[in-house]
Structure 1
Amino acid sequence: MPDSIPIEVSGTSSPHPSTPQRDHYDVLVVGAGPSGAVATKELAQAGFSVVCLEQGDWAQRSEFRGATPEWELTAQRDWHPNPNVRRRPGDYPIDASDSDMNPLMYNGVGGGTVIYAGHWAPFVPSDFRTRTLDGVGDDWPLSWEELLPFYNRIADEIGVSGLDGDPAYPDSLTYPLPPLPIGRIGMKAAQGLDAMGWHWWPAANSIASKPWRHQNACVRRGTCLTGCPEGAKGSFDLTHWPDAVKAGAELITGARVREVTVNDRGLATGAAWVDRSGTERHTTADVVIVCANGIGTPRLLKISSSKRFPDGLANSSGLVGRRLMMHPLVIATAIYEDPLESWLGPAGQSVVSMEFFESDPSRGFRRGAKWQIMPSGGPLGLRAGYANSTVEAAWGDNFHRSLDRTFGHTVEWSAEVEDLPMDSNRVELSSTVFDDSGLPAPEIHYRLDDNTHRNLEFNAERLKEAMAASGALEHSEPILMRDAGWHIMGTARMGDDPSSSVVDKWGRSHDVDNLFIFDSSIFVTSSSSNPTATIASLALRNVERLIASRTQQAVPA
């Protein structure tokens, strides 16, 4: 284990300070996920005094049970992606009773990357111009070409394994490590996609195929969604936080921020927060960067209302919390005669297809979907995939007969579709549900529109065609997963016009000159690609701009 990775702790000892070591900082960051990790590391290495407040904790590698016999028994209890189920100390409740999907997230150092599958999927050029090209959504205030160098730099920093030259992307997108094997499941899917004449490519993953920086090589356990016991997955607690701390950044865990404070000039002065013991604290800084994800960020801004900002901080546009996007996902399991070793990792994408990614008006909807081929996991993981079976078919002797027929012979086919921004899909503050600090919980209002339903239905039919073409003996009916809201975007969108956006193209609030937002809440549209590559690349681009323009930055003192 590299020396810079956090050491195991026991009792009440900690490898990091539990309270800030300064009275005042140049920059205060809220949230230690991908964007917070990137921003904090860059600022610390540039010589800024910077503190990050994170309500969760460090996840120690010994907590990841993927290398133990009891892994499947504990996975859905200790590492469930839904915080309402998981209920770790850093989590807060989310009222999703008025939502078609459950939002999924992880609060802790590294954010959701601790339990993500590692799909690495940069957006494509058309994602930044949907209004111009397709008449839906809005154009971003920056282009794909502007973000390209940051995509490549972030891929290098976190050890992305991929194959250059995917025709779905410009040739200038590159990866530092060779791709992971696509395995027998990838070969089987590729046969079907070839038979249909459809695009496919070996998937890129933020998982090291050979030792890289702080990472070890992947051993393909397939337990990525519950933390990587090998330290191969590019989670930002491993790839960025050791370097940030080494450069002098302070990271305070168990710190639940309850308000971004402002002075009588309307500038941010820091953050009021509550530590794990319930003690109220206030930390001041010249600049505040919020990186609390697409639900936590609008929640914090709304909680931070004041006489000067009665509708919530940075909310003169009224768009804080609105235009929530979460990538609906349709998924099916195909059964094959051939043994496919479909328990092997990585747990995420083996092969991707962008055949239906771009708009085609003849389909009856706008925008498209990204497909991914995934392993079906171990015996209990497979059992969960057939949770709608009758009792007679699913238990007793029938269970064992079914397992003999399916274990190692199944492949997960899925398509995640682009979610268009709608004002009605939003994050509000609950008046009835509160976290354990007494702060109002976020309340999610999210419904799929007709365009999304048509997109899902079209891709479900194409999935069935591809599974049949790949030689599947049978397959489940593609279903819309409720527990699929991994990708939470759009609730504090960027733009040039303060009346129709929350931040500018650099993540700076239009209303508060020294308040920035760097996470996925600033996305204008959602693409149908996984967002982590774009989150981290945007954060790197924006923090470099902040560093370069520091002499012009307004500060409260």
Structure 2
Amino acid sequence: MNEPVDVLIIGAGASGAAVAWSLADTRMHILCLEQGDWMNPAKYPSAGRDWEARFYGDYSPSPNIRARAEDYPVNDDNSPIKVLNFNGVGGSTIMYTAHFPRLHPSDFRVRTLDGVADDWPIDYDMLAPFFAENDRMMGVSGLAGDPASPLTAPPMPPQPLGRSGARLAKAMNKLGWHWWPSDTTVATTDYEGRARCINLGHCTPACAQGAKASTDITYWPAALRAGVELRTHCRVREITTNEHGMASGVVYYDKDGIEQFQPAEVVVIACNGVGTPRLLLNSASSRFPDGLANSSGLVGKNLMFHPYAQLYGYVDEPTDSNRAPPTCLWSKEFYETDPARGFVRGYAFQFGRGIGPVMEAVTSEAKGLLPWGADHHAVFRRLNGHRLGLAAICEDLPEEHNRVTLDPVLKDSHGIPAPRVDYTIGENSAKMLEHGIARGREILAAAGATDICVNRPILYGGWHLLGTARMGTDPTRSVVNEWGRSHDVKNLFIVDGSVFVTSGGVNPTSTIQAIALYVADQMKPRLANLFD
């Protein structure tokens, strides 16, 4: 048996790293268990010429395709959107695009404003100081003063718009619609030991330069210096409880596959909106027969993905292709509810630069734009490096039938039941997708693009895993309280995207980390009373 620790954190990704760093100033013995390992940037795809090919293999965002030893399989056959994640120190921040918006104030008051879903028990103003702290720690680049988004003061200037961004911005001006340079966690200047972006390529398969902020190079070095312990290749099977119904520690498999027990006074889960309900459901016992912290019956339910509508077309002049970070501007023109549209809530547009030649060949052939035969090379030259793209990221409302359960057959390499995802796109989201597609066509047409193609929803678009252990003040309608503590198990906390009550229409990483910092701040004055 391992020596007991004061706080045990499960998962070293976006939220686990943030909560570990924040709690370090308590001088408690804090241990984080991560089922992956430290990553070696020298081996990232962007360090070589085959980066696009590896996106379909060992650096696919899908764990089912990637199938590394550190991954667990996901049965997402019954979903039009496939689950994407990454296991390792840094978690999915290794693979994300570094797009860094915040939830809007209205996103916390959906029930009050629109009569659907539920209001959060916290609001934007409560998180504002933690958003700012996280922006500093992650190193955000952007432009202050956006009239349609929460105001930010990024410590670095924004990414250049480039050829693609400038053309799309002019199209938005032509239509009279909002746009703004997007906040990102890609360094535009040297920042706290990180070198600025040198445009190695698309950010998604990991940044060999270290310009993109992933928590293995931002939060974790600071947390380790402050005394936090991080143990890799530790796959947690279940959270154990004692005779008082309190969390007593975890059972995990170490790097040699040996079962270990790690006792702890406090347990914090940071495993994402699929991994967290999987762990809670697999921690069922005689006292908690339906899964740990699940007296409400809501663990695993209300899964929200963010359906994406992707559009792209081609222009005569060269665009940026895969050079520079992909998301250079956003639009919140259609973010807030307008009853005239026939749906509630809204979506954001994310504007991309383009893609590399391999992806261009694969996708344009699939859409029937690239023929085989005598014209193949001439057509490819017309398409490659001439793409303009955008995506509408649509708010997903919580619906209990969208859920994560334990698969009765599929297991990971240690025999732990894999998560099963059952998900359908709701009526409101479907209407929103169609509205976004129609407006996206107008934008591309205004930019002079032809051969416009649409993907709805993006199949491998399940980047955002939210809502499966929701936050609330009513124990019958939520899993954790307003400061992340389980209603059922008083020394168990959740800090990842599973606590989201509603999803908003933006990428969630900034908000996830702000919530983790907020929860840590709420824990500190209450540590002495956690067992009351």
The amino acid of 1:249's aligned partner reads V
- Describe how 1:77-92 pairs up with structure 2 within 5 A: 77-92=57-72
Match of 1:368?
Answer: 346
Match of 2:458?
Answer: 481
Q: Structure 1 residues 93 and 101 mapped into 2: Cα distance closer, same or farther (>3 Å)?
A: same
Whether 2:206 is the aligned partner of 1:258: answer: no
Q: Structure 1 residues 251 and 394 mapped into 2: Cα distance closer, same or farther (>3 Å)?
A: farther
Q: Structure 1 runs of 4+ off > 4 angstroms?
A: none
Query: In the TM superposition, what whole-angstrom CA distance separates every residue of 1:310-339 from its partner, at most 9, and x where no partner exists?
Result: 000000000000000000001011111112
Q: Structure 1 residues 342 and 494 mapped into 2: Cα distance closer, same or farther (>3 Å)?
A: same
Q: Structure 1 residues 478 and 65 mapped into 2: Cα distance closer, same or farther (>3 Å)?
A: closer
Is the 2:202–2:323 Cα contact (8 Å) retained in structure 1? no
The amino acid of 2:253's aligned partner reads V
Give the C-alpha shift of residue 45 in structure 1.
Answer: 3.2
Q: Which SS does the other structure have where 2:47 is aligned?
A: coil
Whether 2:13 is the aligned partner of 1:36: answer: no
Give the C-alpha shift of residue 94 in structure 1.
Answer: 0.4
Q: Which SS does the other structure have where 1:482 is aligned?
A: coil
> Which of 351, 354, 358 in structure 1 is aligned with 2:332?
354
Whether 2:403 is the aligned partner of 1:432: answer: no
Separation in 2 of the partners of 1:26 and 1:205?
A: 35
> Which of 195, 210, 213 in structure 2 is aligned with 1:231?
210
> Which of 67, 70, 78 in structure 1 is aligned with 2:50?
70
Separation in 1 of the partners of 2:184 and 2:374?
A: 39
Match of 2:398?
Answer: 421
Match of 1:295?
Answer: 274
Separation in 2 of the partners of 1:169 and 1:72?
A: 33
Is the 1:45–1:244 Cα contact (8 Å) retained in structure 2? no
Give the C-alpha shift of residue 177 in structure 1.
Answer: 0.7
- Describe how 1:244-283 pairs up with structure 2 within 5 A: 244-283=223-262
> Which of 168, 180, 185 in structure 2 is aligned with 1:206?
185
Whether 2:510 is the aligned partner of 1:516: answer: no
Q: Which SS does the other structure have where 2:31 is aligned?
A: strand
Whether 2:368 is the aligned partner of 1:380: answer: no
TM-score by length of 2: 0.98
Deviates more, 1:138-147 or 1:465-474: 465-474
Whether 2:386 is the aligned partner of 1:409: answer: yes
The amino acid of 1:412's aligned partner reads G
Q: Which SS does the other structure have where 1:525 is aligned?
A: coil
Q: Structure 1 residues 465 and 425 mapped into 2: Cα distance closer, same or farther (>3 Å)?
A: same
Match of 1:441?
Answer: 418
The amino acid of 1:25's aligned partner reads V
Query: In the TM superposition, what whole-angstrom CA distance separates every residue of 1:267-312 from its partner, at most 9, and x where no partner exists?
Result: 0011110113220000011100000100000000000000000000
Separation in 1 of the partners of 2:251 and 2:33?
A: 10
Give the C-alpha shift of residue 395 in structure 1.
Answer: 3.6
Is the 1:336–1:474 Cα contact (8 Å) retained in structure 2? no
Q: Structure 1 residues 54 and 198 mapped into 2: Cα distance closer, same or farther (>3 Å)?
A: same
Separation in 2 of the partners of 1:447 and 1:75?
A: 26
Separation in 1 of the partners of 2:178 and 2:11?
A: 38
Match of 1:113?
Answer: 93
Whether 2:79 is the aligned partner of 1:102: answer: no
Whether 2:124 is the aligned partner of 1:124: answer: no
Give the C-alpha shift of residue 111 in structure 1.
Answer: 0.7
Query: In the TM superposition, what whole-angstrom CA distance separates every residue of 1:118-165 from its partner, at most 9, and x where no partner exists?
Result: 000101110000111011111000111111111111001111000000
Give the C-alpha shift of residue 40 in structure 1.
Answer: 1.1
Separation in 2 of the partners of 1:553 and 1:214?
A: 38
- Describe how 1:306-345 pairs up with structure 2 within 5 A: 306-345=285-324
TM-score by length of 1: 0.93
Deviates more, 1:447-456 or 1:217-226: 217-226
Separation in 1 of the partners of 2:509 and 2:157?
A: 20
Give the C-alpha shift of residue 436 in structure 1.
Answer: 0.7
Stretches of structure 1 that go unaligned for 5 or more consecutive residues are 1-19
Give the C-alpha shift of residue 396 in structure 1.
Answer: 4.8
Q: Structure 1 residues 398 and 276 mapped into 2: Cα distance closer, same or farther (>3 Å)?
A: farther
Separation in 2 of the partners of 1:383 and 1:409?
A: 13
Give the C-alpha shift of residue 407 in structure 1.
Answer: 1.7
Separation in 1 of the partners of 2:460 and 2:525?
A: 41
Separation in 2 of the partners of 1:442 and 1:480?
A: 22
Query: In the TM superposition, what whole-angstrom CA distance separates every residue of 1:494-538 from its partner, at most 9, and x where no partner exists?
Result: 000001000001100000000000000000000011000000000
Query: In the TM superposition, what whole-angstrom CA distance separates every residue of 1:45-75 from its partner, at most 9, and x where no partner exists?
Result: 3311111111111111112121322222223
Q: Which SS does the other structure have where 1:477 is aligned?
A: strand
Give the C-alpha shift of residue 399 in structure 1.
Answer: 3.3
Query: In the TM superposition, what whole-angstrom CA distance separates every residue of 1:466-511 from its partner, at most 9, and x where no partner exists?
Result: 1111111332135321110000000000000001000001100000
Separation in 2 of the partners of 1:433 and 1:65?
A: 30
Structure 1 vs Structure 2: percent identity of aligned residues?
Answer: 43
Separation in 2 of the partners of 1:456 and 1:224?
A: 25
Q: Which SS does the other structure have where 1:441 is aligned?
A: strand
Count, aligned residues: 532
Separation in 2 of the partners of 1:449 and 1:387?
A: 31
Separation in 1 of the partners of 2:150 and 2:242?
A: 47
Separation in 2 of the partners of 1:159 and 1:395?
A: 46
Separation in 2 of the partners of 1:136 and 1:100?
A: 24
The amino acid of 1:480's aligned partner reads P
The amino acid of 2:56's aligned partner reads Q
Query: In the TM superposition, what whole-angstrom CA distance separates every residue of 1:375-411 from its partner, at most 9, and x where no partner exists?
Result: 2221012223324244x93445433222210222111
Separation in 1 of the partners of 2:443 and 2:469?
A: 38
